[in-house]
Amino acid sequence: MSHVVQISTQVRDAAAVRAGCVRLGLDQPVEGKLKLFSETVTGLAVQLRQWWYPVVFNTTTAGEEKGKGEEKGKGVV
């Protein structure tokens, strides 16, 4: 079972996202366009451990987080 999830949030500061990645030991986020299943999203992509697709923060709209929350082999989170 796979799907794209939208969560209302306010992530406005790309520097804070980058700092959070450092603190959590994650790879640095990548800015750009990404294909998530049948749709393409633009934003700051953070790859979480054991997730197939990244969480993508649209910092320009200051109100949306899109990501695909399925862990490899562990179902939907």
| pLDDT tens figures, 33-42 | 998 888 898 9
Banded model confidence at residue 77, pLDDT cuts 50, 70, 90: very low
The answer to whether residues 69 and 5 touch, using CB atoms and an 8 Å cutoff, is yes
Q: What is the residue type of 34?
A: L
Percent of the chain having pLDDT more than 70?
75
Domain assignment present for 22: yes
Number of domains comprising the chain: 1
Domain assignment present for 43: yes
Domain assignment present for 77: no
Domain assignment present for 52: yes
Question: Which tokens belong to 50?
Answer: 């054991």
Distance in angstroms between the alpha carbons of the first and the last residue of the chain: 11
Domain assignment present for 28: yes
Domain assignment present for 21: yes
User: What mean pLDDT value characterizes the chain?
Assistant: 78
Structural domain including 37 reads 5-71
